[in-house]
């Protein structure tokens, strides 16, 4: 019996590497393998390619190349931006309860070294109360950390309004844009963002590489978290992952050209998927449906265990956004912060579409999910 083709609807977890990205990377494993810090011709050739990738990455968010630090991904960038501020006089950090664990755990570390951290709640639709941000930030607040688009629900915060408030109080703005970069136009200058983290593998680049944008205007000297040879202006030592950086640059170049075209097509498919799945009695979308990224739909199927559903779907890849182990499942901290009960949180599934999703795949997914949801719900009612 032939193996069924994977229908991949988990693009917020990671995306496949675009063939154009892979083909651009390959020579840097075989032909152009010199260290980018080498002063010989081979090294200078690679250095030039890395500098070009920095420009490609910067162009995607309207930054300058010298404002880009290459990292192993968004998690490292987040750690560098937050921990790197430990030497500042202000000791108050503000963030949101629905942030990614990379932010929340790093903030907890900052608390352990003497910082005060305020974790702001959201409304039931996942949006931050802007008035609350106004009230909580003071002249002792160092930085606000806010996600551009939530990884589980796709909800997009009002970045522009948040930035205006922060600037009136001289508070730095660190934005985790992992789920937004490469999908929608981002202008860090216009938005007044001081630090922005991204990962290549979220927009069809390779895993293990990302970037941190550090605004030259912020005039803040971050403390490096990785010490050594002093690469990247002494902010992030270590031999550069050249093939990965080349891949990030190419992925950024493609995204800049194609993200609007991708949005039009993917949004239609997402809406088609959502309309079909909401036929299940009692189902509902988690999060604000107006202010969200176009590829994401997080749907609760009451009385249906999401973990069982994911296993039963087999070749259809989706996510429940929960922290799971072999013994127990915990409800998503994001959905809990939005006010969902444990039962509803554990009955919620995230569908995240991508560049290579097809209409036929959506048809198959809707049919399979609805069939299984009805089956599981019937079994639950019997018990």
314 and 369 share one domain = yes
Catalytic status, residue 324: yes
| Active-site hit among 107, 175, 300, 324 | 324
Q: Is the pLDDT of residue 166 over 60?
A: yes
SS3 of residue 86 by DSSP: coil
> CATH code at 159?
3.40.640.10
Share of the chain above pLDDT 90, in %: 91
57 and 196 share one domain = yes
220 and 276 share one domain = no
189 and 284 share one domain = no
Please state the rounded mean pLDDT for residues 191-196: 98
Please state the rounded mean pLDDT for residues 170-187: 98
What's the pLDDT at 221?
84
* Whole-number average pLDDT of the chain: 94
Q: Is the pLDDT of residue 53 over 50?
A: yes
31 and 137 share one domain = yes
Q: Is the pLDDT of residue 326 over 80?
A: no
Domain ends where: 210, 239, 254? 254
Least confident span in 225-239, 255-269, 317-331, 332-346: 317-331
Q: Is the pLDDT of residue 157 over 60?
A: yes
Domain ends where: 222, 254, 286? 254
Whether residue 1 lies inside any domain: the answer is: no
51 and 65 share one domain = yes
314 and 178 share one domain = no
231 and 265 share one domain = no
What's the pLDDT at 220?
83
What's the pLDDT at 324?
42
Q: Indicate the number of domains in the chain.
A: 2
Whether residue 2 lies inside any domain: the answer is: no
> CATH code at 319?
3.90.1150.10
pLDDT confidence bin for 152, thresholds 50/70/90: very high
Domain hosting residue 116, numbered range? 19-254
Please state the rounded mean pLDDT for residues 158-186: 97
Domain ends where: 219, 238, 254? 254
Q: Are 185 and 60 in contact (CB under 8 A)?
A: no
What's the pLDDT at 329?
75
What's the pLDDT at 321?
76
Whether residue 292 lies inside any domain: the answer is: yes
Share of the chain above pLDDT 70, in %: 96
Write 257-261 long-range contacts (CB < 8 A, 24+): 258/355, 259/182, 259/183, 259/184, 259/185, 260/185
Q: Are 115 and 85 in contact (CB under 8 A)?
A: no
pLDDT confidence bin for 2, thresholds 50/70/90: low
Please state the rounded mean pLDDT for residues 44-51: 96
Please state the rounded mean pLDDT for residues 160-166: 97
Q: Is the pLDDT of residue 100 over 60?
A: yes
118 and 25 share one domain = yes
Nearest to 333 by CA among 322, 319, 344, 348: 322
208 and 268 share one domain = no
55 and 107 share one domain = yes
Write 167-172 long-range contacts (CB < 8 A, 24+): 167/192, 169/137, 169/138, 169/139, 169/141, 170/139, 171/94, 171/137, 171/141, 171/142, 171/143, 171/144, 172/85, 172/142, 172/143, 172/144, 172/218, 172/220
Residue-wise pLDDT for 282-306, tens only, equals 999 999 999 999 999 999 999 999 9
Please state the rounded mean pLDDT for residues 143-161: 98
What's the pLDDT at 377?
83
103 and 240 share one domain = yes
Q: Is the pLDDT of residue 1 over 50?
A: no
């Amino acid at each position: 019996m032939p193996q069924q083709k994977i229908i991949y609807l988990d693009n917020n977890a990671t995306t496949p590497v675009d063939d154009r990205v892979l083909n651009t990377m390959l020579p840097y494993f075989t032909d152009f393998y010199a260290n980018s810090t080498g002063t010989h011709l081979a090294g200078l050739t690679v250095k030039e390619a890395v500098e070009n990738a920095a420009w490609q990455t910067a162009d995607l968010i309207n930054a300058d190349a010298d404002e880009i630090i290459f990292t192993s991904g968004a998690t490292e960038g987040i750690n560098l931006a937050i921990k790197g501020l430990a030497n500042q006089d202000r000791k108050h950090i503000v963030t949101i309860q629905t942030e990614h664990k990379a932010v929340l755990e790093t903030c907890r570390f900052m608390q352990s070294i003497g910082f005060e951290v305020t974790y702001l709640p959201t409304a039931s639709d996942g949006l931050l109360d802007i008035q609350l941000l106004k009230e909580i930030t003071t002249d002792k607040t160092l930085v606000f950390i806010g996600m551009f688009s939530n990884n589980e629900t796709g909800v997009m915060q009002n970045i522009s309004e948040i930035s205006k408030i922060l600037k009136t109080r001289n508070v730095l703005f660190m934005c985790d844009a992992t789920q937004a970069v490469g999908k929608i136009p981002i202008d860090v200058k216009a938005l007044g963002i001081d630090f922005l983290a991204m990962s290549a593998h979220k927009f069809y680049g390779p895993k293990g590489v990302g970037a941190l944008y550090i605004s030259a205007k912020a005039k803040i000297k971050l403390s490096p978290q990785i010490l050594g040879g002093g690469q990247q202006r002494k902010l992030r030592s270590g031999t550069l992952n050249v093939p990965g950086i080349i891949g990030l640059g190419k992925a950024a170049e493609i995204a800049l050209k194609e993200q609007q075209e991708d949005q039009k097509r993917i949004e239609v498919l997402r809406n088609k998927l959502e309309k079909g799945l909401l036929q299940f009695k009692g189902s509902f979308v988690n999060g604000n449906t107006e202010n969200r990224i176009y590829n994401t739909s997080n749907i609760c199927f009451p009385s249906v265990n999401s973990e069982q559903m994911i296993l039963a779907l087999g070749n259809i890849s989706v996510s429940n956004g929960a922290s799971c182990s072999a013994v127990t499942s915990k409800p998503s901290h994001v959905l809990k912060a939005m006010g969902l009960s444990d039962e509803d949180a554990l009955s919620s599934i995230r569908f995240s579409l991508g560049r290579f999703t097809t209409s036929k795949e959506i048809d198959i997914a809707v049919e399979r999910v609805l069939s299984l949801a009805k089956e599981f719900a019937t079994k639950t009612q019997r018990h």
